[in-house]
């Protein structure tokens, strides 16, 4: 390695080490980019009701407790293009319309059986917006639940650092 390469690598390392703490300290929830979905409160409630129908509260925490709708919104905002975000919003609006036309009441006011019936039908829909909305919501809701701390600790029995050692030789020898 030549002397110039060593000095440039060393300089780059020092600059990175000096700037990293200031970058990490300035990374707060206030600095995160705003939500580009811009759902109104009724749409937020509808998304919450849909996520609660997918992952209901039982003897285990469900969608509301684990804040799954926030995760779904964040994933759609961060992972999808603006055109797909519009599809998501159109699909969300269509759900209430279909619920009112089929059952005479909004999705949130429908019974559990009616909600499940609607959600199953939306997954098989020929409407592109509705199908995209349902696929994205279901995928991200399940991902949020299976990666939550509750699921990892209590169901999957994940241990961050296992505190046991299984040697290959018995200790009494």
What tens digit of pLDDT does each residue of 29-87 get? Answer: 555 556 667 888 999 999 999 999 999 999 999 999 999 999 999 999 999 999 999 99
pLDDT tens digits, one per residue of 15-26: 666 666 665 555
- SS3 string of 148-170? CHHHHHHHCCCCCCCCCCCCCCC
Q: How far apart are CA 92 and CA 21, in angstroms?
A: 41
According to the model, what pLDDT value does residue 122 have? 81
In contact, 79 and 117? CB cutoff 8 Å: no
pLDDT tens digits, one per residue of 104-162: 998 888 998 999 888 888 878 788 888 899 999 999 999 999 999 899 889 888 887 77
According to the model, what pLDDT value does residue 124 have? 81
Q: How far apart are CA 83 and CA 88, in angstroms?
A: 9
In contact, 145 and 66? CB cutoff 8 Å: yes
What Rg do the C-alpha atoms of the chain give, in angstroms? 24
According to the model, what pLDDT value does residue 81 have? 92
In contact, 69 and 44? CB cutoff 8 Å: yes
According to the model, what pLDDT value does residue 83 have? 92
Nearest to 47 by CA among 79, 74, 78, 69: 69
The whole-model pTM stands at: 0.73
According to the model, what pLDDT value does residue 170 have? 73
With residues binned 3-state (H G I as helix, E B as strand, rest as coil), the percentages for the chain, rounded to 5, are 65, 0, 35
């Amino acid at each position: 390695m030549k002397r110039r390469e060593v000095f440039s690598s060393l300089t780059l390392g020092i600059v990175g080490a000096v700037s990293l703490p200031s970058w990490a300290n300035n990374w707060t929830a206030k600095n995160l980019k705003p939500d580009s979905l811009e759902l109104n409160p009724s749409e937020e409630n509808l998304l919450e009701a849909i996520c609660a129908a997918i992952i209901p509260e039982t003897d285990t925490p469900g969608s509301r407790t684990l804040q799954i709708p926030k995760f779904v919104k964040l994933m759609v905002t961060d992972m999808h293009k603006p055109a797909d975000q519009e599809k998501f919003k159109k699909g969300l609006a269509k759900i209430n319309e279909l619920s009112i036309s089929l059952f005479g009441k909004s999705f949130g006011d429908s019974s559990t059986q009616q909600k499940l019936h609607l959600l199953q039908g939306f997954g098989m829909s020929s409407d592109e917006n509705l199908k995209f909305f349902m696929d994205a919501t279901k995928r991200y809701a399940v991902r949020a639940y299976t990666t939550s701390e509750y699921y990892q600790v209590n169901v999957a029995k994940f241990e961050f650092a296992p505190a046991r050692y299984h040697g290959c030789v018995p200790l009494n020898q």
